[in-house]
Structure formats: C-alpha cells, structure tokens
C-alpha cells in the first residue's frame, strides 16, 4: 500500500504545480544604465559622460580610396550606418570642475542630448561646472551649451582656441561657406553667442595651461582651431583627443583614412599620426569623442596603424 500512496501523492503535487496560475512574461526593459564612467588620473578625477549615440553612414563619410569600409567594419562585426558615440569628459581637479565638450543637445534628434541627464546621474549639477573647454565648434560638441534658450551652465566660462571662434562665429565666413556647411556656423553661433554676450567666453591662443593639470594643445586639421587637452597628475596622463578619430574599427588599422567632416584632411591625418605615435610611445591614455563609450584606452603601434586597447572596467574606492 505504501508505494501506491506515494505515487498518488506525487501525482497530486505535479498536478498542483501545473494548475498554479502562470505569471506574465517580464517585459523588455530596452534601456541602458546611466552613461558615465569614472577614473582617476593621479589626483584628478575624470568622468566620461555620454551624450548618446548617432547612426552615421560611415561608408560614405570616410575617405577610403580603396572603398573597403564595409569589409573592414565586418571584421569587427559592425556595419554602416554605424552607431557612433558622442562623448564628453568632466574633469575635477579638486579646485576646478571642467567639462570638455557638451555634446549635441537637442540638435540631432532623440538618440543624442543625454549629456545633462548623465552628468546629473554622475553626481554633479550644471551649476557646479566652473569652466568648459571646447575641442572644436561642430554642433555635436557645442549643442549642449544651451537648453530651452538658456545657458545650460550658468556659472561656467567657456574657452576655446581663438582661431576656432574667429572662424565659426564670423558672419562673413558663414556667408562665404557652402550651403551644406552654413548650418554648422549657425549651430556654433546659437550655442556660443549667449556666453559671449554674457561675458562668459574667453578665447586662448597656442598651447597653454588653462588650470593646474589641464593643458590645451593645438591639433588643427579637423577644424581650423581644433584643440586637444592633456590631463596630467603625478605620473599619469590622459589626452582628450576630440575628433582626431571617428571610426576606430577602420581608422586605427589605417590612420591615413580621413572623414568628410575634416576641414583639411591632410592636416587632420598629420595631427592624428603625431599624437597617436606619441601616445603609443608614452603609454598614456587617450579619450576620443567618438570612440565607443567611454572612449578611453591605450594605443600600441601595429604595422602601419595602431592597436586600440579599451580601458578595463574598474571600481572606484
């Protein structure tokens, strides 16, 4: 009798399980975590802050004489249009809070314009930012300066190379520009002029230390006054390279490939080669506005190009 009783009991348990009400399937979340990544350069805190991503038709934008862009992307399991990061960087020196570039703001649609929310998520407010350093005045780097017609960073002084602002904030230059480029002038003026009018814009010239630990370096080519910024503390060093590179999967292997956004493609390549060779030799970090978020890593010379080694994810103490 024992065996039949056990069999019946087991059958009853199984039946009860199948009779239990089913829970609804969990919905897809369809969101990423907040877009910031923090690291230390000596005693200086650097936070990569994402403005989001944008799909770029890099197969037509890259100036690849051999037209191998699609095949090269495929080697990295990528394709065009390529989802491309737009990164900004927040530097806390301990005495100054400096933001390098501001993202696109609302200028490029719903997939960008995330910088402000991610800045707040990282633990800072726009009111705390003391200075903003601009690598160049293309709209995807200065659009975040304004929000709903107001200065996003009410207490910040904006700084950029004089050659850059003299070019992009000139009505004369805009009137002479091709119709396809007039929007870039208009975007720069809309973003920068409110700071100029408020006495919150201060241009600089040449290679100069702007605050202790942060130095501007002229790397022209992408735009007339394109600037990179070095962050140095102790024995550590980081170079914020702006738009010296756009598509790592293609241009790391062949740095001679330029992009149609470059004002002077020959000078843009020369700046990239010079700075990337120095970073590889020096073993210090670089961070790029359009390298996959957080856009930080090391370079090693590999053949005629470079091997890109992204930063390892690290906890903060």
Q: At 215, list the tokens.
A: 């130095």
For residue 148, pLDDT over 80 is answered with yes
Instruction: Provide the pLDDT for residue 17.
Output: 47
Token digits of residue 69 = 């862009």
Cα R_g (the chain), whole angstroms: 24
Determine which of 40-54, 97-111, 201-215, 295-309 has the lowest per-residue pLDDT on average. 97-111
List pLDDT tens digits, range 191-215. 999 999 999 999 999 999 999 999 9
Tell the residue number behind the tokens 């598509």, with chain if given. 247
Burial status of residue 66 (CB atoms within 10 A of its CB: 0-12, 13-18, 19 or more): exposed
Q: Quick one: which of 272, 282, 275, 295 has its CA closest to 236?
A: 282
pTM of whole model > 0.75?
Answer: yes
Q: What is the set of domains in the chain, with CATH numbers?
A: 37-310 (3.60.15.10)
For residue 302, what pLDDT is reported?
A: 97
């Amino acid at each position: 009798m024992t065996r039949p009783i056990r069999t019946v009991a087991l059958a009853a348990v199984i039946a009860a399980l199948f009779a239990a009400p089913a829970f609804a399937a969990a919905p897809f979340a369809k969101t990423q975590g907040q877009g910031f990544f923090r690291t230390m350069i000596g005693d200086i805190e650097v936070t990569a802050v994402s403005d989001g991503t944008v799909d770029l038709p890099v197969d037509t934008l890259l100036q690849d004489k051999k037209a191998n862009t699609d095949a090269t992307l495929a080697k990295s399991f990528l394709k065009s249009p390529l989802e491309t990061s737009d990164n900004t960087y927040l530097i806390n020196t301990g005495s100054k809070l400096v933001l390098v570039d501001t993202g696109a703001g609302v200028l490029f649609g719903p997939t960008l314009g995330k910088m402000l929310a991610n800045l707040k998520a990282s633990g800072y407010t726009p009111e705390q930012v003391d200075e903003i350093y601009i690598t160049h005045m293309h709209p995807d780097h200065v659009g975040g300066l304004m929000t709903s017609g107001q200065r996003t960073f009410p207490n910040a002084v904006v700084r950029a190379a004089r050659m850059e602002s003299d070019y992009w904030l000139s009505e004369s230059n805009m009137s002479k520009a091709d119709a396809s480029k007039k929007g870039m002038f208009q975007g720069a003026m809309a973003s920068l002029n409110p700071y100029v009018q408020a006495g919150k814009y201060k241009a600089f010239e040449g290679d100069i230390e702007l605050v202790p630990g942060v130095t501007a370096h002229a790397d022209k080519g992408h735009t007339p006054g394109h600037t990179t910024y070095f962050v140095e503390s102790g024995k550590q060093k980081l170079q914020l390279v702006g738009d010296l590179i756009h598509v790592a999967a293609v241009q790391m292997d062949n740095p001679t490939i330029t992009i149609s956004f470059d004002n002077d493609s020959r000078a843009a390549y020369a700046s990239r080669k010079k700075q990337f060779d120095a970073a590889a030799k020096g073993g210090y970090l670089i961070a790029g506005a359009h390298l996959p978020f957080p856009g930080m890593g090391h370079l090693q010379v590999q053949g005629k190009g470079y091997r890109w080694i992204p930063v390892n994810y690290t906890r903060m103490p």
